[in-house]
Amino acid sequence: MSTGRRIEVETKFQVASPGGADRYLVAPELGPFTPAGPINSERVEDRYVDSPDWALARAGFAARLRKTSHGTEISLKALNVSSGQFQRREEIEGPADAGLIPADWPASQARNVVMELCGDEAVVEFLTIRQLRRSRPLQARGTRVELSLDEVEIVGDGRVLDSFEELEVELKRGAETPLAALAAILGTDDSLRPVSRSKLARGVKAIRAAMPSMPQDLQKRWLEAPADLLGAKPKMRRGGAAAEDSMADAEETAGTETETELAPVAEEATADPAAADPAAAEPPVRTRLGPRTLGVLAEDSLPEAACKVLRFHFSKMQHREEGTRAGTDPEEVHDMRVATRRMRAAWRVFDGAFKSGKTKKIRRHLETIADRLGVVRDLDVLIGGLEAYSNGLDEDHQPGLNPMLSLWRRQRSSARKELIAELDSDRYATFTTEMDAFLDAGANSAAAVATPTAPHRVRDRAASAIWAAYEAVRAYELVLPWADVETLHDLRIATKWLRYTLEFFGETLGPDSALLLERVAALQDHLGCLNDADVATKLARDLLVARADELSTVESEAIGAYLHSREREVARRRRALGPVWRAVDGAPFRRALGRATAAL
């Protein structure tokens, strides 16, 4: 692997249809060039990484961890690609490994730059590009180039967001004149279209298109990305809330640059399949909540802290009820579900803080509401993922997925009716009334403190609760190398409880708490995406078995291909689990957790 700094010079073309450029790999000559070796084929996985605050992108770099059969290398490429017949940009390369901690990589100039900009903390993955690359070396006198034909998949949020084929010619050594002659020949082919933007830029565009179906925390991370990476600037809409403008696809001609705008899409309404006329509705402005902090203090008693947590999330749940009923924005359902999850978690984290008779009925009603919201939200995620996958297919293949998409939409519509019926029920009205009364009662519902010296404050109890939750996660260390999907699902639940515990007490902890929470959330999200892919796999398989005699050949093949794509995603997530696990399981995390709890 190269370990230095160089200027990459290349010219690229998008292939209009699969196989449309295969002849160039086997041609006995191409202008002044003749083959200088055999055709090589390899699978390449590029994981684009950055610090949590986008330090590399802000410095004008895109960092790529490339894994091939020969190993892993880190490449830093300048984001500012020159326009013109050839694209030129600075590139720094060096050896690496699959981990996300730069200090663990072999020494190189590339690693030095990453550590200088990001420090010695772990970087995080934000986009993956998978390729089947077929390449061949060509030579013309003293000039040598590599002609490669790449079948590309853009992967974000655990699913394929875009796929395409690209022909690329990169100058390896020698003069550029023969390369210009080859580029001129390729430019006359109507099946090829010159492109000036990188695969990363196309990946970012795919992320923009898919953002409405992504988790809110992932949307938030992308919305904080610098303009140099996005090729865009956020635009604010009424009330200070940001919204996404429609963006027309620009012609990707060489030497042409197009300005686009990116803005938050979490606020934008997305049509509900059950809505009668969603296109006619004005996208609602989502209600702004009150305080953004829980207000928990170290001196609070556990009942006082619990009431603060419950009141905060109960308020969020109520604020999202109107949007959930309207059904025009799936994120309203998501936010309402998150609020109910946090409330249920609070009962567990603060277990014993209240008299059991005062909470039993409320907790039972809350569980019912959370379950109804969960069914709708899970189907929203499935449908969004399947629609994104379908959009990446040729139009001829998209109808094959209709039976599964129609089934999930019908199930979602039925689940939504059950949810609305629950929200309209006397049981729900009683729950909200009793919850208000419980929160107003406060200390009157608290369990009695046995003695004045019994530990009952946040300062006394939070550390042990946090460490107990961490111990439950770390216990998986022994079985993780051979854990099945069900075990990983259990780990996800344990990680979720650790995350909630850190959230509830976060304001009382030391300055390391934000980073700790971020790493735990990354592990939970990774395991969540793995679980989502596994669920989609099982549902697709069930459909193929149950309706084998009804599905056409086209439908069976399309659903089968989707099933295989989800199986591959499960396998990929399992392979990539190591770095995000070590970020929580390792000694640096425990030391930081010790510092955080020492502040109590």
Closest CA to 406 of 561, 533, 555: 555
Q: Note whether 495 and 524 are within 8 A (CB).
A: yes
Please state, as a whole number, how many other Cβ atoms lie within 10 Å of the Cβ of residue 575: 11
Per CATH, the homologous superfamily of domain 5-232 is Hypothetical Protein Pfu-838710-001 (2.40.320.10)
Q: If you average pLDDT over residues 399-410, what whole number do you get?
A: 92
- Phi and psi (nearest 5°) for 79? -75, -25
pLDDT > 70: percent of the chain: 85
| Inter-axis angle of helices 553-575 and 513-546, nearest 10 | 150
Q: If you average pLDDT over residues 459-488, what whole number do you get?
A: 92
Task: For residue 288, give both structure tokens.
Answer: 């702004």
Does residue 281 have a pLDDT over 70?
Answer: no
Q: If you average pLDDT over residues 263-269, what whole number do you get?
A: 32
Query: Options 3.40.50.150, 1.40.20.10, 1.10.606.20, 3.30.70.2610; which CATH number does 452-600 get?
Result: 1.40.20.10
The 10s digit of each residue's pLDDT in 46-86 is 999 999 888 888 888 889 999 887 788 999 888 766 556 67
Closest CA to 568 of 523, 533, 540: 533
Q: If you average pLDDT over residues 152-161, what whole number do you get?
A: 86
Query: What CA–CA distance (Å, rounded) separates 46 from 66?
Result: 4
> pLDDT value at position 437?
86
> pLDDT value at position 290?
40
| Residue spans per domain, the chain | 5-232, 302-440, 452-600
Does residue 380 have a pLDDT over 50?
Answer: yes
Task: For residue 501, give both structure tokens.
Answer: 């515990």
Highest mean pLDDT among 12-21, 345-354, 449-458, 465-474: 465-474
Q: If you average pLDDT over residues 149-154, what whole number do you get?
A: 91
The 10s digit of each residue's pLDDT in 507-520 is 999 888 888 888 99
Of the two residues 317 and 86, the one the predictor is more confident about is: 317
> pLDDT value at position 99?
84
User: What is the 3-class SS of 509-526, one letter each residue?
Assistant: CCCCHHHHHHHHHHHHHH
Does residue 109 have a pLDDT over 80?
Answer: yes
User: What is the 3-class SS of 429-453, one letter each residue?
Assistant: HHHHHHHHHHHHHHHHHECCCCCCC
Q: If you average pLDDT over residues 261-266, what whole number do you get?
A: 32
* Amino acid in position 458: V
H-only helix segments in 320-425 = 321-326, 330-349, 356-391, 402-424
Does residue 255 have a pLDDT over 50?
Answer: no
Of the two residues 253 and 545, the one the predictor is more confident about is: 545
Closest CA to 521 of 217, 265, 220: 217
Query: What CA–CA distance (Å, rounded) separates 422 from 368?
Result: 8
- Expressed in angstroms, the distance from the first to the final Cα of the chain is 49
> Would you say domain 302-440 falls under CATH 1.40.20.10?
yes
Does residue 494 have a pLDDT over 90?
Answer: yes
| 452-600 shares the fold of 302-440 | yes
**8-12, 92-96, 280-284, 364-368, range with the lowest pLDDT:** 280-284
Task: For residue 360, give both structure tokens.
Answer: 């039993």
> pLDDT value at position 258?
32
- Phi and psi (nearest 5°) for 215? -60, 150
Does residue 289 have a pLDDT over 80?
Answer: no
Query: What CA–CA distance (Å, rounded) separates 460 from 351?
Result: 15
Q: Going by C-beta distance under 8 Å and a sequence separation of 6 or more, which residues neighbour residue 84?
A: 254, 255
The 10s digit of each residue's pLDDT in 550-580 is 999 999 999 999 999 999 989 888 888 888 8
Does residue 391 have a pLDDT over 50?
Answer: yes
pLDDT grade for 17, boundaries at 50, 70 and 90? confident
Greatest Cα pair distance in the chain: 91
| Inter-axis angle of helices 302-319 and 426-441, nearest 10 | 140
Does residue 148 have a pLDDT over 90?
Answer: yes
| Inter-axis angle of helices 216-223 and 330-349, nearest 10 | 110
Q: Note whether 164 and 152 are within 8 A (CB).
A: yes
